[in-house]
Structure 1
Amino acid sequence: MTYQLVATCLFGLEKLLGEELDALGLKRTLTMDGRVFFEGEAKDVARANLFLRTAERVYVLLGSFPAPTFAALFDGTRALPWEEFVGKYDAFPVKGHAIKSRLTSIPDCQSIVKKAVVERLSAHYGAKWFAENSGVKYQIEFFIFKDMAYLMIDTSGVALHKRGYRPESGVAPIRETLAAAIALTARPREDTLFWDPFCGSGTLVIEAALIATGRAPGLTRSFAGEAFSFLPKNLWSTAREEAESKIVHDSKFETFASDIDEDMLDLVYENATRAGVEEHLNIFAADARTIQKPDRRGTLLCNPPYGERLMTKEETEALYAAIGKNFATFSPWQMYIITSCESFEKLFRRRADKTKRLYNGMIPCTLYEYFKPR
């Protein structure tokens, strides 16, 4: 059976997510801000959850329909085959959001969708009520965009950026999916040293090492879909076997993870160990303003501190000016620097070869790419 599926992502990562789906052999059908629609079999639900590095969640799309009114939302939802997915004794909470649509009250939309699903299941199972806290949980989510409603079931559970290797974070953590996107853009290779001089909890270099060694980001975690009756249990074990087979155990990929805060270094090692890539990281204390370029090909990628929580505006400006001066000595190394500081290029004293607007959660940022020799 072919399912209509949806993978969501942070704004700005749609192209990378689409390329990941292509690499998995999955057919894309539609791209919208923050989500990519695609087709796949039941096994591909498991594969997408395990392998996608830039996706936040993977959904099964039950259907879409115009919903300019509450009546249309109710009728469209009730017409969908919920009984093919949700059992008589299962829980099915509802959440969602609406953008640029006439239906703006999310609580009212939740109630309408819930009532419609209950009526559909009641007619099928002959039940008058359904338990809220028993059975398998099928999280129903609606997305209404320009009066078009999309009704989905979340197969991921905990968001996919939570890989499981980072129970603790630094002061200003970068989301794992965003770190993976930056690393994918930089293209980790065995012959290129990667270095994050503001490593914090190590997310950027860990994601780069996962990519370089072919380790699936979801290999060490579980997913809500593993409990779903319409997804055979063996699909998940088969997907994990596929993921295990793709690991490059003899990879020579190497990264430097340095930070001026020595207290972070043990955490970096612990996170890398949980991710299974600790042997690829060289972890040490260093000041990014004075580090020196190794005599080999390399790439700098970092998320330098910015914001009132970490330092004053004057301290930020002084730091960016200092690293701009020091990083200039790293040519012809490539650099990928993400920050929410809008005056970064001026302070860094070098215009980027390419910029990309991204979001770290809800925080707007810019990825500054330097790949041309200076």
Structure 2
Amino acid sequence: MKFNLIATCAAGIESLVGKELRKLDYDVSVENGRARFSGTVNDIIRTNLWLRTADRIKIVVGEFDAITFDELFEKTKALDWDKLLPMDANFPVEGKSHNSKLHSVPDAQAIVKKAIVNKLSDTYHRHTRLPETGAKFPLEVAINKDHVMITLDTSGSSLFKRGYRVAKGPAPLKENLAAALVMLTNWYPDMPLLDPFTGSGTIAIEAAMIGRNIAPGFNREFICEQWPWIDNDMVQSERDAADSLADYDIELDILATDIDGSMIDIAKQNAQEIGLSEDIKFKQLAVADFKTDKINGVVIGNPPYGQRLSDQVKVQKLYKEMGKVFNPLTSWSKYFLTSDLEFEKFYGDKATKKRKLYNGAIRTDYFQYWGKKIR
């Protein structure tokens, strides 16, 4: 059976999700906040395992226009719920509505829930309440400009939760955004890589996983694995296939530094949890003290943003230090994520390119400085 699927993601990285899906040989159409594709049950598992920049893989159960609750009820009930939900399914319904006549989210959720209950009660000949004691099937009704999309989440917790972060510091970078930051650079696994503000080690760890071609979802489970129509042997086969593609022989040159020694300890813990502690060199080091003779490397940094006024002077001083240290490395490409729109002024150089990204709810720019490689 083929499903209509979407891979949801943060604003600004839809093209990356599309690129990842095309690399896995899917036909893709990219929209705001998601990429559409189609696939079988195997493809649901495969994309959950492999997509580095997506948030979730969802089945599109149905799409239609509705401007009345009667329409919403009847069109929801008409969908093939019996092919997805067993009689004892636990199916909570979340909701959202934007620029639509059906603007009451609680009412929309209740109507969709009632329609599904009616359909399943008819299908399974139940005259009493459905038990909902079985596996969880998280549903969402999303209404935008009177267009309704009802989806079933196959991932469970967001795909950014790789399972390796056993410890974290303040304001940690989500794993899928860290992967996006790496994928938006010109880094290849045979090049030196520096993460000068490593924090809990996320950028360096994601880079090592990319360098070794390790599937980002290998260390976790997905909610759909509990569903009765998902075959455990098939899931294990997909996991084995993903593991067989990992490259454990390539040598990586990744250095992750931080001025805070306690963060270095945390980063080491996380790298050890996923088995990459030998692939990343962690070192307590201030940016001002960084020196290298290496060429053709890449710096990927998520420096402090100075969101509070009291931090701004300190952060701007740091940006000046960064300019003094990294600008002379002309063969290196540098990439910095910050919400400070004056970053270039204090860094002392105009970026080759800027890209708007969101770090959670914070609107940021990814300042890119392309180096001139020494042949």
* Equivalent residue number for residue 42 of structure 2: 43
Query: C-alpha deviations, 1:17-39, integer Å up to 9, x for none?
Result: 001000111121x3221111101
Matched residue of 2:87: which SS? coil
Cα distance change, pair 354–286 in 1 and its aligned pair in 2 (3 A): same
**Mapped partners of 2:152, 2:243: distance in 1:** 27
The CA deviation at 1:309 is: 6.3
Query: C-alpha deviations, 1:6-52, integer Å up to 9, x for none?
Result: 11001111000001000111121x32211111011110000010000
Q: How does 1:225-264 map to 2 (within 5 A)?
A: 225-264=224-263
* Equivalent residue number for residue 179 of structure 1: 178
The CA deviation at 1:171 is: 1.2
* Equivalent residue number for residue 9 of structure 1: 9
* Equivalent residue number for residue 117 of structure 1: 116
Which one-letter code corresponds to 1:351 in the other structure? K
**Mapped partners of 1:212, 1:104: distance in 2:** 46
Query: C-alpha deviations, 1:347-373, integer Å up to 9, x for none?
Result: 212111111111112211111111144
Which one-letter code corresponds to 1:8 in the other structure? T
The CA deviation at 1:117 is: 0.7
Query: C-alpha deviations, 1:131-188, integer Å up to 9, x for none?
Result: 34x2101011122222111111110011100000113212121111100011111244
CA contact under 8 A between 1:27 and 1:40: conserved in structure 2?
A: no
**Mapped partners of 2:96, 2:85: distance in 1:** 22
CA contact under 8 A between 1:89 and 1:130: conserved in structure 2?
A: yes
CA contact under 8 A between 1:189 and 1:253: conserved in structure 2?
A: no
**Mapped partners of 1:314, 1:325: distance in 2:** 17
CA contact under 8 A between 1:188 and 1:208: conserved in structure 2?
A: no
CA contact under 8 A between 1:53 and 1:217: conserved in structure 2?
A: yes
Which one-letter code corresponds to 1:264 in the other structure? M
* Equivalent residue number for residue 18 of structure 1: 18
Which deviates the most, 201-210 or 292-301? 292-301
**Mapped partners of 2:312, 2:292: distance in 1:** 28
The CA deviation at 1:126 is: 1.5
Q: How does 1:77-226 map to 2 (within 5 A)?
A: 77-127=76-126, 128-132=128-132, 134-226=133-225
**Mapped partners of 1:163, 1:323: distance in 2:** 31
The CA deviation at 1:230 is: 2.6
RMSD: 1.6
The CA deviation at 1:289 is: 2.4
CA contact under 8 A between 1:65 and 1:148: conserved in structure 2?
A: yes
**Mapped partners of 1:188, 1:219: distance in 2:** 23
CA contact under 8 A between 1:353 and 1:372: conserved in structure 2?
A: no
What is the TM-score normalised by the length of structure 2? 0.96
CA contact under 8 A between 1:258 and 1:283: conserved in structure 2?
A: yes
* Equivalent residue number for residue 366 of structure 1: 365
Matched residue of 2:123: which SS? helix
The CA deviation at 1:301 is: 0.2
Matched residue of 2:118: which SS? helix
| 2:319 aligned with 1:307 | no
CA contact under 8 A between 1:331 and 1:373: conserved in structure 2?
A: yes
Q: How does 1:291-330 map to 2 (within 5 A)?
A: 291-308=290-307, 312-330=311-329
Paired-residue identity, %: 38
The CA deviation at 1:311 is: 6.0
Unaligned runs of 5+ in 2: none
* Equivalent residue number for residue 347 of structure 1: 346
CA contact under 8 A between 2:4 and 2:39: conserved in structure 1?
A: yes
**Mapped partners of 1:210, 1:99: distance in 2:** 38
Matched residue of 1:177: which SS? helix
